[in-house]
Amino acid sequence: MNKQVLEGLNKQLNMEFASAYVYLAMSSYFEGIDLEGFSAWFKVKAHEEMFHAMKIYDYIGDRRGKRDMTAIGLPVKTWKSPAAAAEDAYKHECKVSESIHKIVEVARQHKDHSTEAFLHWFVMEQIEEEAQADRILQKVRMVADNPGGMFMLDNYMVERAKADAANVGKDTESEGE
């Protein structure tokens, strides 16, 4: 595999694990403020990120590339409000998309069609990830100063967590939001 392409994939491998850590920190934050639905949902997100990481881990091995495991950065651990946490989650997904798009460009530059095809799954997945994070953010903003609304939204998140947990690890592009 081309050195730059491999570097990009290794960087992404780290970023997916770092994402799991970010979402686990969010899950813990929401648990601490008794929003168990959000806590459960972010925990599912953390699992999903580990699944993303393992996909890249396997791919690097399949291409006989050298995996470069590097230290995972410390996540932010507290937020001033649920809306601030949800905003960070959305921004984080945008950053992940950008990173994946960059590796696609490098793969294309080096005519690495296999990596480009492999990353196609991630490109499509990110459309969903961004949309999902944005929807949650908008809902949190809607009820920001309304405890009753937040209570109801948290109950909704319990159901979301259950539904999304059933999809983790399903290796399809059409998995539901």
CB atoms within 10 A of CB 109: 11
Q: How far is the CB of 49 from Mg ion (least distance, A)?
A: 5
Q: Does 45 bind Mg ion (CB under 5 A)?
A: no
Question: For Mg ion, which is the closer residue by CB, 87 or 128?
Answer: 128
Considering only CA atoms, which of 80, 8, 3, 92 is closest in space to residue 45?
92
Size of site (CB under 5 A) for Mg ion? 3
Candidate list 45, 52, 55, 92; residue touching Mg ion; CB under 5 A = 52
Residue number, 16 or 154, with CB nearest to Mg ion: 16
At its nearest, how many Å lie between Mg ion and the CB of residue 24?
13
* Sequence-ordered strand ranges (E) for 25-175: none
Shortest CB 86 distance to Mg ion, Å: 17
Could you give the CA distance from residue 66 to residue 27 in angstroms, rounded to a whole number?
33
Residue 29, burial from CB neighbour count under 10 angstroms (0-12, 13-18, 19+): buried
Q: Name the minimum Å distance from CB 150 to Mg ion.
A: 27
Name residues contacting Mg ion, limited to 99-128 (CB under 5 A).
none
176 φψ region: left (φ > 0), alpha (ψ -120 to 50), beta (else): beta
Query: What residues line the site for Mg ion (CB under 5 A)?
Result: 16, 49, 52
